[in-house]
Amino acid sequence: MVFRPQSKTTEPAGRPRRPDPIVALPDGRSGRRLKREPPLRRFSIAIRGATAAFLAAAALVFMALASSFAGCSSEPSPAAKSGDVLQPGVVASIDLDGDAAPEAVILDKAVHSITITDGSTIYRSREKWSPVAACLGDTDGNGLPEILALLDAADGRHLGMFGYSGGDAGEYRELLVTGVLQPRPLALRVEVRPPSANLLVLTEEAAGEKRETSYRWNGFGFTALSATAP
């Protein structure tokens, strides 16, 4: 009879596990052969990998789309006010017709237009006017802001007013477009002076010199008040 001491390991009794075979590597070293997965399991792993890659790509596309749309629809435009300059391509939100609901105003140099959107009503300035610069203000003192713009055309540079006409035929339209301006205005702004009507200030170029001229509404157009060096 042979005495066998009791095993102190937790290895189950029975046939010992065969070690992974050792294979020779090209450089003479040896290593363990990697265990090959059965074909069906390899296929399942491949499917899961492809699904994960697809979901990751879809998530990236969704995030990109959400980011691109955020600037044009999901984010409300900041409220604009008299005296503000319209930045090309940036929507300004301001109430032009006095119904307490803001309209969307945009100066779009790419398509040469000033566009006012009031719900389903869309006004777009005529193609003959190419807006150079624009700002907001109640220069005619009727309590409603309008859009003042420098407009280039084939014959030269004009000043235009766009806004709500009021009355029974209330609509958005050109309120005024001047003839060709001399001296040529380079820029414009509105100076807010409550409680009186806002002043229109043009930066003009005359005889090679720049100057700023203030204009006040006279009921039909603008009258120059004074000219100063900018």
Q: List residues near Ca ion by CB under 5 A.
A: 95, 97, 99, 101, 138, 140, 142, 144, 146
What b-and-e string marks burial along 26-60, b requiring 16 or more CB atoms within 10 Å of the CB? eeeeeeeeeeeeeeeeeeeeeeeeeeeeeeeeeee
Nearest partner of 112 among 82, 88, 78, 137, judged by Cα: 88
Q: Which is nearer to Ca ion, 153 or 192 (CB)?
A: 192
Supply the minimum distance, in Å, between the C-beta of residue 77 and Ca ion.
13
Q: Which is nearer to Ca ion, 92 or 204 (CB)?
A: 92
Supply the minimum distance, in Å, between the C-beta of residue 177 and Ca ion.
16
Reply yes or no: is the peptide bond before residue 39 cis, omega within 30 of 0.
no
Report the C-alpha gap between 140 and 137 in whole angstroms. 9
Supply the minimum distance, in Å, between the C-beta of residue 184 and Ca ion.
25
DSSP 3-state assignment of 45? Answer: helix
Report the C-alpha gap between 8 and 1 in whole angstroms. 21
Q: Which is nearer to Ca ion, 95 or 152 (CB)?
A: 95
Q: Which is nearer to Ca ion, 164 or 204 (CB)?
A: 164
Q: What is the CA radius of gyration of the chain?
A: 37
Return the residue matching tokens 């900041």.
78
Supply the minimum distance, in Å, between the C-beta of residue 69 and Ca ion.
25
Supply the minimum distance, in Å, between the C-beta of residue 48 and Ca ion.
55
Supply the minimum distance, in Å, between the C-beta of residue 169 and Ca ion.
16
Q: Which is nearer to Ca ion, 84 or 140 (CB)?
A: 140
Check: CB of residue 116 under 8 Å from CB of residue 122: yes
Task: Please give the structure tokens belonging to residue 89.
Answer: 């391509």
Return the residue matching tokens 């003479």.
28
Supply the minimum distance, in Å, between the C-beta of residue 57 and Ca ion.
44
Nearest partner of 112 among 88, 130, 90, 134, judged by Cα: 130
Report the C-alpha gap between 133 and 123 in whole angstroms. 18
Type of residue found at 155 = D
